[in-house]
Chain A
Amino acid sequence: MITLSSLISLLQTALPLEGEQGGGLSYSFLQHYWCFVVALLGAILVFLLFVQGANSVAGSLGQTEQGRRLIYNSTGRKWEFTFTTLVTFGGAFFASYPLFYSTSFGGAYWLWMLILFTFVVQAVSYEFQNKIGNFLGPKTFQFCLTLNGILGPLLLGGAVATFFEGSNFIVEKGNLLALPALTGEGSGEGLPVISHWANASHGLDALLNPWVLVFGFAVVFLARTLGILYVMNNIDDEDIRSRGSVRLIGSAVPFVILFVAYLVHLLMKDGYAYDPATGIIFMEPYKYLHNLLDMWYLLVILLIGVVLVLYGIAIEIFGRSTSQRSTFNSQLNKGIWPAGIGTVLTVLALLLCSAWNNTAYYPSTADLQSSLTMQNSCSSEFTLRTMFYVSLLVPFVLAYIVYAWRAIDRKKLTREELDESSHAY
C-alpha cells in the first residue's frame, strides 16, 4: 500500500547524491515516476482530444461552410499538439514499459491499426481540404476529420478501458528460445514470439465488452464537450457560440451519465492486484476503490478534477451573462480552462489508480499471470534513470508550448482573419 508518507520517503531516497554512481534514484521510484509521466501524457492527450471532439460536431456547430471553416481553422491551429502528444505517449511508453508496448501493439493489432488509420487521414485533412488541386473534394477530408473525431476518442478510450477490464493476451518469454522445427512435418511452424493474442480478433474483441464501449463513448462525449467549450471561446462568432451552448448540453449530459456509470462500475469491480514480493497476480474485490482509499491524494485529485470539469461546463452554460462574467477572473470564466485542467487531473488519477499500489495495469483475461505490472514490464534501472534526466526537459517544453499557444490565441479567430491570413485551411 502506498501512503503519502511512503511516497515522500521514495522521493527523499530519489534525490541524486553527488558522487554516488547512479545517484539516489531507486528503481521503485523510477518505475512510479515513469508511470506518472506516461499517465500525465495520457491525461494531456485526453484533454487535447478537444480537437477531435470539435471536428466531430463541426457540421452541426458550424452549419454553414464559413462556419465549418472557422471551426476547422480553430482546431487546425492545435491539431498537431494532439498528434504529437499521442506519438510521444507511445514513445514514452515504449521507452519505460517496453513489454506493454510490444504486447499491446503486437497483440491488439487491429485496434491500434484502426486508431492509427484515423490519425493518418487527419494529418493531411486540414492542409488538403480547401486547396486547389484536391481532386477528392473538401467533403472527403472533412469526412476524414469527422471520422477521426469520433473513432479516435472512442478507440483510445476503449484502449484505456482495457487497463481495467483486461485483454486477451499471453506472455511467455521462453518462446524466444523455441526454434521452429527445421525439417519434417510441421517444419517452420511456430514463431519465437514472446507474446500473442489469445484469439484471432487481435484487439477487436475488446469492443465486445460493454464496459469498454461505455468508457469509450464517455471519452467521445467528453472530447465533444471540450471541443465545444474550446471553439466557443476561441472563435469570435455569435452564431457558433449560441449553437455551442445548445450542443454543449447534448454532449455534456451523456458524458456525465456514461462517466458516472463507469466510475461506479470501476469502484465496485474486482481488480488485478499483485504481490510485490513474489510477483503473483490475483483478483482483489473492490481493488480500485481500495486504491483510491489507500492513495487518498489520488482520490482528492480525482474529485477536484471532476468538480472542475463540471464547473467548466456549468459556467459556460449558465454563466454567460455579462454580470456573471465580470465577477470572475477573465481566464477562469472560460469554461475550457477549468474543464481542461479538470480532465487532466481526473484522467491522471484514474490512470495512476490502474497501476500504482501493486496493481496490474495491463491485465490479461486469458492468463492471469501474464498480466503486466510496473515491476515485470518496465525498462532497466539504467534506462529509466537516463530517461529521468531527459524528462527534466519537459517543463521547458511545456513552457514554450504555453508561450506559443498564447501568442497564437492572443486574439479570437474571426471570419476576417481567415480571409486575410496567408495560411488558412
Chain B
Amino acid sequence: MNSLLSAIDWARAQFALTAIYHWLFVPLTLGLGLIMSIMETKYYRTGDTFWRKTAQFWQRLFGINFAMGIATGIILEFEFGTNWSNYSWFVGDIFGAPLAIEGIVAFFMESTFVAVMYFGWEKVSRGFHLASTWLTWLGATISAWWILVANSWMQYPVGCEFNPDTMRNEMTSFLDVALSPFAIDKFCHTVISSWIVGAVFVVAVSGWYLLKRREAEREMSLKSLRIAAIVGLIASVLAAATGHKSAQTVAAVQPMKLAAMEALYDGGTGQGLKVIEGIEVPYALSFMATNDFNGYVPGINDILKGYTRADGTVEPSAKEKMERGRIAIDTLAAYRQAKAEGANEATLNAQLSTLNTNMPYFGYGFIKDESELVPPVAVNFWAFRVMVGFGSLFILFFAYLLFISWKQKKTLSPLPRDGESLTSFENSAQQPPSITGGVGGESFYPNWLLWLAIILVPCAYICSESGWLVAEFGRQPWTIQDMLPVGASVSDIGASAVATTFWLFLVLFTTMLAVEINIMLKQIKKGEPFPARGE
C-alpha cells in the first residue's frame, strides 16, 4: 500500500510542481502582452517614436518571461503521457483533441509572430509588426482557451460516453466539450485574472522608476502606469464577476469542492459565507451558490451520507456510489470475459444494461474508503480566501490609482500630448507636479502607493496560484470528476523514478527562475534611455 501511494503521490507532486512553475509565467505573458499591444497600437496611430520605445521596453521584459513560460510548458504537454498514462488512454479520445488544436492553432501563432515582434522592427511595415504583436498575445490567449477547455473537461466531463469494447471514453459531441459552460467560465476568469498580474507588474515597475526619480523613464512610467491602471481596474472588476459565475458552476457540478472551499461540513439552507472561522456573512454562501439567499448548500458530511437536492432528486451516499462503482467494474470485466467466450447477445445486452446503469459511478469503484472523497479542506479553504482577499484589494488599489491619475489630469498640468515635450512645463505658469514628494508640491502618486504597488507583485502571483490550488486540490481525488480517481490514472513508474525527476525539475526550474528574476531586475534597473522630447 505504501509503495502504491508513494508512486501516486510523487506523480501528483510532480504535476503540481510543473504546473505551479508554468503558471508563474503564463499570467504575465497574457497580461503584459495585452498592455504592450495597446502601447504599440498608440505608436501605430500616432507615429510618435516615444510609444515605439515604450512598447520595445515592455517587450524586452515580456521576452524574458515568455522564454520561461515555454520552457516550463513543454513538460506539461507530455506529462499526461509520462506520468498519467492510464488517464491518457482512458480519456485521450476526448482530452487529446484540445491539446492538438492548441498546438496547431495557438502555439504556431505565438511562435511565428513573436519572432516578427522581436526581430521585425526594421524588416516589416508598422502595420505588420503591430499585427504580429497582437497575434502573439492572441496566440497565447487561444492557447489558454484550449488548455482550459481540457482542464474544464476534467472538472465536468461532458460530450462523451464509455465504450466497453474499447475500454475507454469516447467523444460524442465536440461542441459540448469546447463550449462547456464550465470552460467558458474558467477561461474568462483565468485570462482576465492574468491581466491583473500584467497590470500590477507594469504599475510596480513604473512606480519604481518614479520612486527612484529616474528622469529618463519618467514620462514612460507615468503613461504606462495610467494604461496599466485602467486595464487593472477593468480586469479586477471582471475577475470578481466571473469568479462569482465560476463559483455557481462549481456549486452545481462539484459540490464537494465548494464544501471544501468553505470548510462546510454540515450544510443546509440559508448558509453564510465564512470570511474566516468565526466571522461570517449571513446567507452569502447560499446566494453565491444558488442565487437564492435560502438556497440549499450541501456540506461534506451531507455529500458523503447522501442528500436531497432542491429539485427533489436524491444524491446517493458515498457508500452507495462506491458499491455501484464496483458493480460497474465487475460487470465490465464479466462483459469482456463473456464476449471473449462468445456469449449470446441476450447475455451481453443484460450485462451492458447493468453497466450503463452503474457507469456514472465507475470511478467510485476504485475508492477504498469514503474519506478519500474529501479534498484537502485546509488548502481549499485558505487558498480561496487568499484569492478573494487579494482580488478585492486589487479593485480598491486600481480604483484609487485611477482616481489619483484622474485628479492629476483634472487639477494639475496635464501630461504632454503625444509629440509635446515634458520640459515645456518649465516655462508655463503651472509647475509640473512632483512625482514623489519632491520640492514644489504635493505628490500625486504618494510614495506609499508606489511602494504598495511593488509589494503587490508577489501578492498578485500568490493570488493567481491560489486560484489554481482551489481548482485542482478541490478536484481531488479525481483526475476526471467522478469518472477516474488519481489512483487509477497513473503510469506504472516506480516511486523512486518519479521522485528523481521531481527533484530534478525542482532544482532545474528553481535555478532557471532565480536566473530569470535576476535578469528581469537587472533589465528593469538598466531601464530605457528615452531621449528628451525634441531630441
Given A101-B96, A394-B104, are A423 and B60 also a contact pair (CB < 8 Å)? yes
Residue contact B85 to A107, C-beta cutoff 8 Å:
yes
Per-position binary interface string of chain A over residues 194-221, scored 1 when its CB falls under 8 Å from any chain B CB and 0 otherwise:
1111001010000000000000000000
CA distance A247 to B494 in the complex (A): 44
Q: Give the CA-CA distance A86 to B2 in the complex, in Å.
A: 37
0/1 string, B62-85, CB within 8 A of A gives 1: 011011101111110110111111
Tell me if A132 and B78 are in contact (CB < 8 A). no
Known: A197-B492, A379-B93. A127 touches B67 (CB 8 A): yes
* Contact A106–B92 (Cβ < 8 Å): no
**B521 contact set on A, CB distance < 8 A:** 133
- The answer to whether B63 and A127 touch across the interface, beta carbons within 8 angstroms, is yes
Which one of B114-122, B269-277, B439-447 is at the A interface? B114-122
Interface window among A57-65, A282-290, A335-343, A405-413: A405-413
Residues of A within 8 A of B74 (CB): 83, 86-87, 116, 119-120, 123
Return chain A residues, CB-CB under 8 Å to B5.
Answer: 188
Smallest Cβ-Cβ distance to B508: which chain A residue: A120
**Residues B501 and A87 in contact, CB atoms below 8 Å apart:** no
- Are B88 and A83 closer than 8 Å at their CB atoms? no
Name B66's closest neighbour in chain A (CB-CB). A127
Binding site for A on B (CB under 8 A): 1-5, 7, 56, 59-60, 63-64, 66-68, 70-75, 77-78, 80-90, 92-97, 99-105, 107-116, 118-124, 128, 132, 163, 166-168, 170-172, 174, 326, 329-330, 332-333, 336, 365-366, 368, 487-488, 490-494, 497, 501, 504, 508, 511-512, 514-516, 518-523, 526
Which 10 A-B pairs have CB atoms at the shortest separation, nearest pair first? A106-B85, A105-B81, A98-B92, A188-B1, A88-B103, A133-B522, A95-B96, A123-B71, A106-B491, A80-B111
- Are B56 and A422 in contact (CB-based, < 8 A)? yes
Smallest CB separation, B159 vs chain A (Å): 10
Q: Is A99 an interface residue (CB 8 A)?
A: yes
B198 to chain A, nearest CB (A): 19
Bound complex: CA A409 to CA B285 (Å): 58
**Contacting residues, chain A, for B99 (C-beta < 8 A):** 91, 94-95
Q: Nearest chain-B residue to A106 (Cβ)?
A: B85
Residue of chain B at shortest CB distance from A411: B123
- Known A-B contacts A110-B497, A113-B82, A200-B494; the reply to A404 vs B116 at CB < 8 A is yes
Whether B497 contacts A407 by the Cβ 8 Å rule is no
Against B, the Cβ 8 Å flags (1 = close, 0 = not) of A370-390 are 000000000110110011001
Across the interface, do A386 and B518 meet the contact criterion of CB distance under 8 Å?
A: no
A sample of 28 inter-chain contacts (CB < 8 A) reads: A83-B111, A84-B107, A91-B100, A94-B80, A95-B97, A105-B491, A106-B81, A106-B492, A112-B81, A124-B512, A128-B519, A131-B523, A136-B515, A174-B167, A177-B336, A179-B366, A187-B1, A192-B488, A193-B491, A194-B89, A379-B96, A397-B105, A400-B112, A401-B108, A405-B112, A407-B123, A408-B115, A421-B119
A117, B492: Cβ atoms under 8 Å?
Answer: no
Residues from chain B with Cβ under 8 Å of A421 in the complex: 119, 121-122
A357-380 to B contact mask, C-beta < 8 Å, 1/0: 000000000000000000000011
Cα distance, A421 to B332, chains bound together (Å): 64
CB distance from B231 to the nearest CB of A (A): 24
A107-B492, A189-B3, A408-B119 given. 9 additional CB < 8 A pairs? A106-B86, A123-B70, A134-B519, A174-B333, A182-B368, A379-B93, A382-B171, A404-B113, A411-B123
Alpha-carbon distance A126/B80, docked complex (angstroms): 27
Query: In the complex, what distance in Å separates the CA atom of A124 from the CA atom of B108?
Result: 18
Which chain A residues numbered 110 to 153 have a C-beta less than 8 Å away from chain B? 110, 112-113, 116-117, 119-121, 123-124, 126-128, 131-136
Instruction: Report the Cα distance A327→B75, complex, angstroms.
Output: 48
Cβ-defined contact, A88 with B108, below 8 A: yes
User: Using Cβ atoms and an 8 Å threshold, which residues of chain B touch A202?
Assistant: 493, 497
Q: Is the CB–CB distance between B490 and A191 below 8 Å? A: yes
Known: A91-B102, A102-B86. A134 touches B518 (CB 8 A): yes
Size category of the binding interface on chain A: 35 or more
A132 contact set on B, CB distance < 8 A: 519, 522-523, 526
Contact A423:B100 (CB < 8 A) given known A91-B77, A134-B519: no
How far is B508's CA from A91's CA once the two chains are assembled, in angstroms? 24
CB-defined contacts of B516 to chain A, threshold 8 Å:
124, 128
A-side contacts of B67, CB under 8 Å: 123-124, 126-128
Q: In the complex the two chains form, is A382's CB within 8 Å of B515's CB?
A: no
Please report whether the interface of chain B is mostly helix, strand, loop or mixed according to DSSP.
Answer: helix
Give which listed residue, B78, B93, B132, B330, contacts A116 with CB less than 8 A.
Answer: B78
- Give the Cβ gap from B144 to chain A, nearest Cβ, in Å: 15
- Considering only CB atoms, which chain B residue lies closest to A377 in the complex? B89
* A167 close to chain B: CB less than 8 A: no
- What's the nearest-Cβ distance from chain B to residue A55, in Å? 16
Closest beta carbon of chain B to A215's beta carbon, Å: 21
Instruction: Assess whether B100 is in contact with A88, with CB atoms less than 8 Å apart.
Output: yes
Contact A105 B88, beta carbon cutoff 8 Å: yes
Chain A residues lying within 8 Å of B63, measured Cβ to Cβ, are: 127, 423
Q: Which residues does chain A contribute within 8 Å of B336, judged by CB atoms? A: 174, 177
A333 beta carbon closer than 8 Å to chain B = no
A139 and B3 CA atoms in complex are apart in Å by: 41
Considering the complex, give the chain B residue whose CB is closest to the CB of A397: B108
| Cβ-neighbour of A179 out of B78, B111, B167, B365 (below 8 A) | B365
In the bound complex, CA of A200 to CA of B239 (Å) = 48
CB contacts (< 8 Å) of A104 on chain B: these are 81
What chain A residues lie within 8 Å of B494 (beta carbons)? 200
Cα–Cα distance between A356 and B56 once the two chains are bound (Å): 50
Determine if A106 and B93 form an interchain contact, defined as CB atoms under 8 angstroms apart.
no
Give bound CA distance, A133 to B60, whole Å. Answer: 14
Measured between beta carbons, the chain A residues less than 8 angstroms from B72 are 120
Q: Are B71 and A80 in contact (CB under 8 A)?
A: no
B493 in contact with A106 (CB, 8 Å): yes
Query: Are B82 and A99 interface neighbours, CB within 8 A?
Result: no
**Least Cβ distance of A394 to chain B in Å?**
6
Judge if A33 is at the interface, Cβ distance under 8 Å. no
Chain B residues with CB under 8 Å of A83's CB are 70, 74, 111
Question: Among B71, B88, B102, B167, which residue has its beta carbon within 8 angstroms of that of A120?
Answer: B71
Residue of A nearest to B175 (CB): A386
Q: Does A346 contact B (CB under 8 A)?
A: no
B96 close to A96 (CB less than 8 A): yes
Q: Cα distance A81–B122 when bound, in Å?
A: 21
Alpha-carbon distance A200/B493, docked complex (angstroms):
9
A391 to B163 Cα, complex, angstroms: 25
Report yes or no: A387 in contact with B100, Cβ–Cβ below 8 A: yes
CB distance from B40 to the nearest CB of A (A): 13
Please name all residues of chain B whose beta carbon is closer than 8 Å to the beta carbon of A197 when the two chains form the complex. Answer: 492
Please give me the residue from chain A that is nearest to B92 by CB atom: A98
Task: Give the docked Cα–Cα distance between A167 and B512 (Å).
Answer: 34
A395 to B: closest C-beta gap in Å: 11
Q: Does A319 contact B (CB under 8 A)?
A: no
Q: How far in angstroms is the closest Cβ of chain B from A325?
A: 25
CB-CB nearest in chain A for B128:
A407
A109 at the B interface (CB under 8 A): yes
Q: How far apart are the CA atoms of A94 and B64 in the complex, in Å?
A: 30
Q: Are A102 and B85 in contact (CB under 8 A)?
A: yes
* A105/B104 in contact, CB under 8 A: no
CB–CB A109/B115 < 8 A: no
Give min CB distance, B457 to chain A, whole Å: 17
The answer for the CA separation of A146 and B522 in the assembled complex, in Å, is 26
Which residues of A sit under 8 angstroms from B116, Cβ to Cβ?
404, 407-408
B123 touches A188 (CB 8 A): no
Chain A residues with CB under 8 Å of B333's CB are 174, 177
